[in-house]
Amino acid sequence: MNQLFEFSGRFHPLLVHLPIGFLLIAVIFIWLKESEKVVRISLGLGALAAIASVTTGLMLESSGDYGSVNVHKWFGISLATVSIVLYFVPASQLKPGSILMTVLIFATGHFGGTLTHGPLLAASEPAGPDISQIDLHNAVFYADVVKPVLEARCYSCHGESKQKGRLRLDSPEAILKGGKNGKVLEPGNPEESDLIKRIDLPVDDEDHMPPKEKKQLTDQEKRLISIWIATGVDFSKKITELVNEKELNELSASNDSRVSLPDVEVKEPDEELITGLIEKGVAITPIARGSHFLQVNFVSVPEETQALLQTLKPIAANVVSLKITSIEDLSMMGDFKNLSNLNLSGTKITDVALGQLTKCGSITTLNLEGTKVTTDGVKKLKACAKLRYLNLYNTTVDQQQLREALPGVTIEFGGYQVPTLQTDTTVIKVK
C-alpha cells in the first residue's frame, strides 16, 4: 500500500497545474461576465482538479521526501474547499468569492514552489570549502571540511525542508541512518558507498547526485568526501588524526581551485558570444571580478561539448580553466594558449588524444580521474613543461613508472588508507 501511495503521489507535481489553470480561467470569466454556464464548467473542472491535487499531495507527503509541508498543504485544502463552495453559490456571490480564491491560488503555488525549488529570494548556493583557506593541521574533518561541502551541494534536496529518498545529510545521525534504500556510506570503503557511486554517475543519469540542473561537486569536494569515508566516517577527529602527512600534503597541493593566471594581456571577450554559449547551457564566469580571463564548464551539455568548443574558439585565449565531461578529440587544445587548469575526469579520452595536449603548453593542473588512459599515454605529458598537478585517481596506470617519468609533478592516485593510530585496537588472530 505504501508503494501505491508513493507512486500515486508522484503525479502531484503534474496535477497541480490543472486547478491553477481552470480556476484562474473561471476568475477571468466571472469578471468578464461570461455566461454562468461557462463559469460553472470552469469552476467544476477546477474543483475536481484541486481535489485530485490535494489527494495526490497527501500521498506524496506520506513518502517522506519533504519536511514540513503544512502551510502548502492547508492552503491547498482551503483552495479546493473554496472552489467547491463557489461552484454552488449564487451568481451574485461569485465575484467576492473569486477574490479569495485568487489569493489562495497564488499562496498555494508560492509555498509549493518554495518546497520544490527553495525560497524565491534565497541566497545563492554557498561555496564549498577552499582547501587553501583552511588550516588543515587544526581542522576537524567533518565540521570544517565535509559539512560545508554537504551544505553547499546536498542540503537543498537532503536537508530540513526536503528529503529526497527519505535521506537527510544535515546531521551525523541522519547521515549514518541513510534513506529509504538503506545506508549511503560504507565507512572505510568509498567505492562501495552509494553516495560516491551516485556522484560518479554520468550527469544526465536520473540517479546522479546532485541533479544536473544543480551546481555539481568539484573534484576537490568529491575527493574530500572520499577521503573522509575512507578514514572511517568520523565526526569529531581532526584531519591530522586520520590522514598521514604525505596525504595531507597531496591534499593541499591538489586544490582544484588552483589556477595560474598568465602574465599576459588579453582582449575583452565577446559578450554576445558568451551570452549565446550560456543560453545553450555552458557555464562561463570571469576568473575574478574585472578580469578578462574565464573559467568554462561544459558539465551540463556533455553531448554538445565538441561542437560548442568550436564556438568557443574566438575567445580561447581568454580561457584559463576548462571542465569537460564528454570529449574524445583534443586536437583544438592548441588554441587555448593560456589554459592552466584542465579537467577531463570521466571522459572517453584516449592516449592518442592525450598526446594532443602537448600542443597546450600552459597547463599546470590536469584531471584525468576515471579515464581509460594508460601509463604510456600519460608519459607523453612530459612534454607539458608547466604541468605541476595531475589527478590519476581511479585509473589503471602504473604509479611507480609515472612518479619516475614525471618527477616534477604532484600526482594524485587516490587509494587512501587509514593510518594506524596509538589509540586503535589491533587484534591478532593466531592461525
> What is the tens place of the pLDDT at every residue in 385-421?
889 889 898 899 998 999 899 988 888 886 544 444 4
d(CA 162, CA 155): 8
> Which amino acid, 230?
A
Q: What is the pLDDT of residue 259?
A: 60
User: In the CATH scheme, what is the code of domain 2-117?
Assistant: 1.20.120
Other residues' Cβ atoms within 10 Å of the Cβ of residue 181: 10
Q: Share the mean pLDDT of the chain.
A: 82
Q: What is the pLDDT of residue 95?
A: 92
Average pLDDT over residues 141-162: 88
Per CATH, 2-117 and 271-412 having the same topology is answered: no
Maximum distance among all Cα pairs of the chain, rounded to whole angstroms: 93
Give the pLDDT band (50/70/90) at residue 3. low
Average pLDDT over residues 6-34: 85
Q: Considering only CA atoms, which of 223, 249, 226, 225 is closest in space to residue 136? A: 249
Give the pLDDT band (50/70/90) at residue 430. very low
Q: What is the pLDDT of residue 332?
A: 83
Inform me whether the pLDDT recorded for 43 exceeds 90: yes
Instruction: State the cell numbers at 112.
Output: 509549493
In a 3-state reduction of DSSP, which class is residue 391?
A: strand
Inform me whether the pLDDT recorded for 154 exceeds 80: yes
Report the predicted TM-score, pTM, of the whole model to 2 decimal places: 0.47
Inform me whether the pLDDT recorded for 140 exceeds 50: yes
Q: Tens digit of pLDDT for each residue in 227-255? A: 999 999 999 999 889 887 666 655 654 44
Average pLDDT over residues 265-270: 91
d(CA 367, CA 63): 40
Residue extents of the structural domains in the chain: 2-117, 131-243, 271-412
Q: What is the pLDDT of residue 291?
A: 81
Average pLDDT over residues 129-142: 73
Q: Considering only CA atoms, which of 153, 156, 154, 136 is closest in space to residue 145? A: 136
- Give the CA distances from residue 249 to residues 110, 207, 323, in Å, rounded to whole numbers and listed in that order: 48, 34, 24
- Return the higher-pLDDT residue of 78 and 161: 78
- Return the higher-pLDDT residue of 211 and 64: 211
Inform me whether the pLDDT recorded for 372 exceeds 60: yes
Helix %, strand %, coil % for the chain, to 5?
Answer: 50, 5, 40
- Give the helix/strand (H/E) hosting 323: strand 319-323
Q: Considering only CA atoms, which of 96, 121, 113, 415 is closest in space to residue 243? A: 415
User: In the CATH scheme, what is the code of domain 271-412?
Assistant: 3.80.10.10
Q: What percent of the chain has pLDDT over 90?
A: 36
Inform me whether the pLDDT recorded for 424 exceeds 80: no
Give the pLDDT band (50/70/90) at residue 97. very high
Give the pLDDT band (50/70/90) at residue 6. low
Q: Tens digit of pLDDT for each residue in 271-296? A: 999 999 998 888 898 876 678 899 89
Q: What percent of the chain has pLDDT over 70?
A: 82
Residues in contact with 202: Cβ distance below 8 Å, sequence separation at least 6, in sequence order: 208, 302, 325, 346
Secondary structure letter of residue 420 according to DSSP: P
Q: Considering only CA atoms, which of 318, 340, 343, 393 is closest in space to residue 218? A: 343
Give the pLDDT band (50/70/90) at residue 121. very low
Q: What is the pLDDT of residue 82?
A: 94
Give the pLDDT band (50/70/90) at residue 427. very low
Average pLDDT over residues 379-388: 90
d(CA 325, CA 331): 16
